[in-house]
Structure 1
Amino acid sequence: MTKTFLASAAVAALMISPASAQDASTVLATVNGHDITLGHVIVAQSQLPQQYQTLPDDVLLQGILEQLVQQEVVASAAQDGMSGAMRIGLENEQRAYIAAMTLDEVSQGEIADADLQAEYDAQYADVEPVTEYNASHILVDSEDAAQALIEQLENGADFADLARENSTGPSGPNGGELGWFSEGMMVPPFEAAVTDLSVGEVSAPVQTRFGWHVIKLNETREQAAPTLDEVRDQLVEGLRQARVDEYIQNLTDAADVARPELDIDPALIRDVDLLNN
């Protein structure tokens, strides 16, 4: 929708009375013999960007109708003089629109509860609980510095205070807390050290590409598979996409598709001059 629509809507709302209509075939305007119906307006409205959806219905009705009239005036005048590029573009737009609307109808069909449960079982029934770790660390530049911190901890120093005072990592100001993570989320030496610790235990110095770490394991927990309700939207979206993929594949398998063997220079796709030859 262009700025022309907003200006047209404001003017047309003052000039045109709302049409009395009973169904989508009701003619709201006729331009050079071509009817513009309530159905045309409804479809145009349904495709408006969200920012226009809050406009009053009377403004939308008159504004969309005025735009459709203007479009028909221009289109009918240009019909006989359409360039090759315009005709091909129109074919592409028609093909894309029909395909998109059809696939939307296919995907939006109801998903049966049994199908949803079956998909959930297929994805999550055999999922084992995942151990998650909550740890803190102090990152320093050398093994000696890390060992000195460990000695201070053994003498009663507070881990969070030492992290705030000494850590060069981004978690330092937060007392070294890293929050919850599971296997695969940390670099291997760090992860190996964490999984070897007991809750409350502090590691020996651990070297990674970031430097030397002193690690404390704060807590562990078992993260079970999500419930069906927690992943419902994700599962529904997957089932809808699978339905669309199957529909396309079935049609493609049944279609008569011929691709002649031609030696085409890929660079030709950029030669727009070919459209009007």
Structure 2
Amino acid sequence: MRSLLTATALAGLILSTPVYAQDQQEPAADATEAAANYDATTVLATVNGTEITLGHLILLRSRLPQQFQQIPADVLFPNLLNQMIDQTLLADTESTSQDDDPLDIRLLLENERRGSLANLAVQGIISEPLDEAAVQAAYDEQFADFEPEPEYRAAHILVDSEDKAKELLAQINDGADFAEVAKENSTDGSAAQGGELGWFGLGRMVPEFEEAVVAMKPGDVAGPVQTQFGWHLIKLEETRDSTAPTLEEVRPQIEDQIRQQQVQDAIAELRDGAEIDTPDTGVPPSALDDEGLVSGQ
């Protein structure tokens, strides 16, 4: 089956396309001002009767990878135009009429049109401003059953042996500062912060670590505790009950959920009002693998 030219490959061709002599001429000073009268239908070139318009070039540029879209327009413009001229010449060697296009090309273009128009419809649905009352109602519903859970802020010291952990624990019990001991001895990334792990809830730590923390009181130091990572000394800093996030904290997610539901509702309404026939053709799912059905025709 034919493969479409990827945007990256296309960009490479564009940048390697020579700018022909006639394209390198500097426009007259007043020509630039006169050119202000243009639109997407303005014809930039005609190739064997096929018109190439400014709209064609704008859309071609929009499909380029972001790094190529940063290229100045005065560099891209002649290259894009020449690339499209070359594409037209090459395309005409395969077909000069859509009716005569190979089957796979016709099907690909139909899919592209269908997908682009469907995306346009979706954008129309989700572009409408959301009713604030609907956003608040969705937030209230999502967190109506929220139940606070305990959260813990702890620090730890991680070493590779129980004996080393016991040695450090003795230093702490004798008055050494936990954070300083962590900075000097802990083998994980939290050492630079004095072993601080921040706030975490149940299920966030490995079972042995969590079990020790749950049994502690703020200010306690426990250990050595062995986990899959090594031997820990743990200091529980403080505890609290979790709280539901505020509306503003989760607004983007709430709004996305509402818009997704709007799209699904719109599709459901369209389906209800449409005549959809899916006959039993007996086509097996494995037919998807048979690309030979659409190639070479």
TM-score w.r.t. the length of structure 1 is 0.76
The one-letter code of the counterpart of 2:173 is E
Structure 1: stretches of 5+ with no match in the other structure: none
Q: How many Å apart are 1:186 and its aligned residue? A: 0.9
Please, which of 130, 135, 140 is the counterpart of residue 111 of structure 1?
130
Name the residue aligned to 1:54.
Answer: 70
Please, which of 84, 88, 93 is the counterpart of residue 72 of structure 1?
88
Give the direction of change, closer, same or farther, for the CA distance of 1:4–1:143 in structure 2 (3 Å limit).
closer
CA-atom RMSD in angstroms: 3.6
Do residues 201 (structure 1) and 220 (structure 2) align? yes
Structure 2 contact 41–55 (Cα < 8 Å) conserved: yes
Do residues 259 (structure 1) and 259 (structure 2) align? no
Give the direction of change, closer, same or farther, for the CA distance of 1:79–1:193 in structure 2 (3 Å limit).
same
Q: Distance in 2 between matches of 1:255 and 1:131?
A: 52
Number of aligned residue pairs: give it.
277
Q: Distance in 2 between matches of 1:212 and 1:4?
A: 58
Name the residue aligned to 1:39.
Answer: 55
Within a 5 Å distance, the mapping from 1:10-159 to structure 2 comes to 10-11=19-20, 13-15=23-25, 19=35, 21-79=37-95, 82-124=101-143, 127-129=146-148, 131-139=150-158, 150=169, 152-159=171-178
Q: How many Å apart are 1:185 and its aligned residue? A: 0.3
Q: Distance in 2 between matches of 1:149 and 1:175?
A: 14
Q: Distance in 1 between matches of 2:196 and 2:112?
A: 54
Name the residue aligned to 2:11.
Answer: 2
Residue aligned with 1:30, SS? strand
Residue aligned with 1:28, SS? strand
Give the direction of change, closer, same or farther, for the CA distance of 1:57–1:146 in structure 2 (3 Å limit).
closer
Q: How many Å apart are 1:218 and its aligned residue? A: 1.6
Structure 2: stretches of 5+ with no match in the other structure: 1-9
Q: Distance in 2 between matches of 1:115 and 1:45?
A: 39
Structure 2 contact 158–233 (Cα < 8 Å) conserved: yes
Q: How many Å apart are 1:134 and its aligned residue? A: 1.8
The one-letter code of the counterpart of 2:105 is M
Within a 5 Å distance, the mapping from 1:180-259 to structure 2 comes to 180-203=199-222, 205-210=224-229, 213-259=232-278
Per-residue displacement from partner, 1:235-264 (whole Å, max 9, x unpaired)?
Answer: 333333333333333323433333333444
The sequence identity of aligned pairs, in percent, is 45
Give the direction of change, closer, same or farther, for the CA distance of 1:149–1:3 in structure 2 (3 Å limit).
closer
Q: How many Å apart are 1:114 and its aligned residue? A: 3.3
Q: How many Å apart are 1:217 and its aligned residue? A: 0.3
TM-score w.r.t. the length of structure 2 is 0.72
Q: Distance in 2 between matches of 1:44 and 1:66?
A: 12
Residue aligned with 1:25, SS? coil
Q: Distance in 1 between matches of 2:197 and 2:179?
A: 12
Structure 1 stretch displaced more, 193-202 or 245-254: 245-254
Per-residue displacement from partner, 1:164-214 (whole Å, max 9, x unpaired)?
Answer: 676566656764432322222012342232133221112365454555543
